[in-house]
Structure 1
Amino acid sequence: MTAVDTDSKNKYGQTLTQEAVTVEDSIVPTLAEITVDGEDVTDVKAIEEEVVLTFEEDINPDKVSLVSFEVAGYNVTAVDVTDNVITLTVARKAGSTLAATPKVGTKVTQKATVKDANGNSLTGLSAEVAVSNADVTPPIITNVVIGGTTDEEVTAQDTLTFTFSEATDKPALTDSSFATGLKTLVLANNGSATWNAAGTELVVVLGDNPTITADDTINFVAADTVEDLAGNDFGTEIIFTVPTLVGSDF
């Protein structure tokens, strides 16, 4: 310690001195907090294809790398440090059905030591995405059109055209993709299920001798359910109930 003069004097007119004290930051960096729905949560946001971690103090950019953090279900492809903010650019792992933008609850785990601007080390951080602009709305069917029928039954080569509310992943569909009870669409026998280029319209052509009749229901089985481009499942709810048909309806 070093003695320094002050502006104070004692009763004898002598200038008082005091020892200089050096204050050092030895506090480990922590994530800042934000309030979401009335609760305080760590400031971890997912914006498009980036996960943004905001700390209480500046981070040393030389102590952050591609392997510093792991984002569950994603590869970290780039990292940026600006003052107290670490931005991880992420991409879905091969074969993943996750959305391009990590959703709320996605785990972020520290895998290597990070240091703040004063050299304090942070290890073992585990957090979750608290705010995300990811699309979490599943697609729905907005319209169904029956074509080709001129009698009282749905018969061979009739078409069912399903319009979806948004673009889908256009999965390949077969007879086993549809749950119809003991009834069949017989797509494998001169039938088909094809998507338009945008993935918003599915045209099902019934094959020879389909057995579905009025009041039968059709839905997707879980293994082949349709998803939108953000990875939201359409689900297995009923997509169509065969109506009672009469010739004058077509």
Structure 2
Amino acid sequence: MSITETPRELANLRDAGSASPVLREGALLRSDAPHSGDAVPDGVPWPPAVVLDLRDDAEKSEAHPFLGESRVVDLPLMGGRARLDFSEDELAAFVRAGLGGMYASMLEGEAGALLVRAIEEIAGAPGPVLVHCTAGKDRTGVTVAIALALVGVDRDAIVADYVRTAANMPGVHARSRRTVAARTAGAQLSIDIPEEILTAPATAMEGFLDELERRGGAAAWFAAAGGAPATVDALRERLRA
């Protein structure tokens, strides 16, 4: 498939409110990266009032298609580390830590501060919020998991919502070809990407939630990272049914 034949429907879009009966539908959406010319999806409020783009600049092959329609907030959670040209040492470190370890690393430093900002944006939005990265799996999965944990969604439901991405990954890969082509500029990738990074295993989200629990739970982590209790109250008001 050529870049011009990129599928024109979001491959990993869903309403996070469907994760649990305690949630209000239509308030928080999650997806892979939107492209210009995408079809308008059925069954969700569109366009969203606020869009949280968690990608690095290197992942963007065009201006965000929602500019002028939505308030687009850039929150690059990987801090320039989202790329395909991994060294062998970097890949070896990833294999040792796994996806759960990578997710846990986002709780620290600049990424942790950006996650707090993401929760603040969701809590204070005037309407539906769309959270996305490139695949809608890793950074989006972490952000949504924290939001759901903060409002009292149980662990099994958070994991199940994350795992739903696995079935959508073939479509995500097809849609990401345009961005990948722009990032690699025809370079040959000689290093095999670990299979885990291309899937959405339950163990990855379970490992992340274990780390949150080790820190005293989502609310304790949020407070330690600089989040205000009033933000959690507002988030509950926005997301709970």
The structure with the largest strand share of the pair is 1
Please tell me whether Structure 1 or Structure 2 has the larger radius of gyration of its CA atoms.
1
Which structure has more helix as a fraction of its residues? 2
TM-score, normalized by length of structure 2?
0.22
TM-score between both structures, scaled by the size of structure 1:
0.21
